[in-house]
Amino acid sequence: MCGIVGFTGSEQCSEFLVQALKRLEYRGYDSAGIAVQSGGKIKTVKAKGKIAEGLQEKLKEEGVPGGSCGIGHTRWATHGEPSDVNSHPIGNGRISIVHNGIIENYREIKKFLIGHGYGFESETDTETVVKLLDYYYSSDPVDAISKAIRDIEGAYALGIIFRDFPDKIFAVRKESPLIVGQGKGENFIASDVTAILDRTREYYILEHEEIAEISPNKIIFRDSHGFPITKQLKIADWDISTAEKGGYEHFMLKEIHEQPAAVRNTLSPRVKNGLPSFEECGLTDEKLKGYKHIFIIGCGSAMHAGMVGKYVIEELSRSPVIVDIASEFRYRNPLLSKDDLCVIISQSGETADTKAALTLANEIGADTLALVNVVGSSIAREAKMVMYTNAGPEISVCSTKAYAVQTAFMYLLAFRVALARGAITEEKCRELTGELMCIPQLIEKCLCDKEQYQFVASKLINAQSLMYIGRGLDYALSMEGSLKLKEISYIHSESYAAGELKHGTISLIEEGMPVIAVATQSRLADKTVSNVKEVKSRGAVVVVICKENFEFDNTIADYKLTLPPISDLLMPMVAIVPMQLTAYYTAVLLGRDVDMPRNLAKSVTVE
């Protein structure tokens, strides 16, 4: 949940650290700081707030530390409120660290250290690591790190500098991600590769408890006992433009507009001779036919993509699918067996609950398939089979293109499962796949209707609370639409199965409350319209999202957002676009920080 960066080379590094932190700010933005080896001292500048308002202002006041080796951090607070003192880097003059994760046994360690005369200034768990390293350190940093990590329980990615080693960064991790970047005469650490893409695309993935010792011209990797190991160099296939706004006002808007290309990139490599093919990961028809149950697990938007998957797989193959929220699944002793397939969906591949669900599924012996965007992420590496969604980096905290590609993949899976189980013919499968391949053009069409979405957004901005309703696939879609709106506009919003309204929730409807009714499914649209009538007659302001040729009593809709014609089954792929853009424009009109909504961070690596 925090962003880490580090640089060692020959040039002044403070400016690079700040710029790299800005690219990582989506991971956490409560506070930020840097610590630089500067003339025999470690100089630290850190401040509460976003980088531009906090850290950069403080650097202007206090001066930029000179030096060519340093570490930086952007924080999403877990222990201790966002404040200057709780910000990272945290150090004691001799050692300074940046940390992403949670030290679960920090109380015990703190007690132990207090017993040995150490004092504490911050409320963070991280400070215990600094003092523990100090306790073990005499002259060998690697020895101190090996000893400290034996005592620490929990998740951590740590970037560490020791005053006595002015051109070296040390790094170690467990659970939380960390990469080591390799440049020419300069090397790096970072929470993810986007932070250093302007300098290098070569990197190593640090594995659990491996320790890296990084100098400008050399990187040494060791295991947790300090024995040298060799690691495989990776090359990122993302370039710097993918991690920049490219003329858009926000990353969210850019990423919404990248959806056609992202969906193409997900689908194309998996369609062979007009049919979905999962050969790349060994998911054969024989396997798909044999699974007793299919589970789909994820959090937030990833889980919502799974909900669409459930409807489509069940509809086409008549086989039951269980969708679960990862944080529930992992603790409820799930009825999963070794005869089942567990599909794990995650953009980041680092979400703590999703990862724990995967570990559990692997332990039970189920087949696990990870559907992940970030190459080489923990979930991708831990699953038995992996397929990448090829969406490019998603920087905005609010997920859009990742949801689109996850959903697109759900369709491919549904088609192949149905074909493998003989529930649809090859001809039908080809037809469905062909229609799916046309989706990017239809998304492009929806993207042109900006004015419609801006107009509807202008009608939502004064709402205290609103509701999304739908049935079947429209209900699955409503969940995602409602999440988009609430997370970036801060307007309270709920999604509701339209038929459930009368069982209690309709009492919330009052004069002027917006209700967004999703009615794209021909079989169910009239039923949803009846529910719309019920809320309308109680004063709701109704927005109907439907196909352009859907005929209904227009007087019940105050506003209408229309969609290009496509089969009902595929509707979620296009219907999500108006929802994303309406949420976006609502947040913009309200002056919200669209890409970094309050209290949130991308990549939830803590429970």
Binding site for ligand F6R (CB under 6 A): 299-302, 346-348, 351, 354, 398-399, 483, 487, 603-604
DSSP 351-394: -HHHHHHHHHHHHHT-EEEEEESSTT-HHHHHSSEEEE------
Closest contact distance (angstroms) between CB of 489 and ligand F6R is 12
Residue 317 C-beta: closest distance to ligand F6R, Å: 25
Closest to ligand F6R by CB, 319 vs 399, is 399
Residue (122 or 301) nearer to ligand F6R, CB: 301
Long-range CB contacts (within 8 A, 24+) of 375-380: 375/234, 375/236, 375/237, 376/205, 376/234, 377/177, 377/346, 377/348, 377/349, 377/350, 378/175, 378/177, 378/349, 378/350, 379/344, 379/346, 379/349, 379/350, 379/351, 379/354, 379/355, 380/349
Nearer to ligand F6R by Cβ, of 31 and 603: the residue is 603
Active-site residue, from 2, 13, 69, 446: 2
Is the Cα dihedral 440, 442, 444, 446 positive or negative?
A: negative
**First-to-final CA distance of the chain:** 10
CA distance 548 to 544: 11
- Catalytic-role residue among 110, 131, 547, 602: 602
297: region left, alpha or beta (phi > 0 left; psi from -120 to 50 alpha): beta
Task: Give the H or E element holding residue 541.
Answer: strand 541-547
Q: Residue 206 or 325: which CB sits closer to ligand F6R?
A: 325
CB of 597 to ligand F6R, least distance (A): 9
Shortest distance in whole angstroms from residue 405 CB to ligand F6R? 11
Give the gyration radius of the chain's Cα atoms: 25
Smallest distance from ligand F6R to CB 480, Å = 8
Checking DSSP bridges between strand 187-190 and strand 3-8, what pairing results, if any?
antiparallel
Q: How far is the CB of 241 from ligand F6R (least distance, A)?
A: 22
> How far apart are alpha carbons 544 and 560 in whole angstroms?
5
109 HSE (CA, 13 A, CB side): 26
Token readout for 53 is: 């308002």
Q: Which residue is at the shortest CB distance from ligand F6R?
A: 300
Q: Catalytic residue at 2?
A: yes
- Specify the residue, 27 or 201, whose C-beta has the smaller distance to ligand F6R: 27
> In a 3-state reduction of DSSP, which class is residue 263?
helix
Is 342 catalytic? The answer is: no
For residue 268, the tally of other CB atoms under 10 A from its CB is 11
Query: In the complex, what is the shortest distance from the CB of residue 160 to ligand F6R, in angstroms, rounded to a whole number?
Result: 27
Which positions are catalytic? Answer: 2, 602
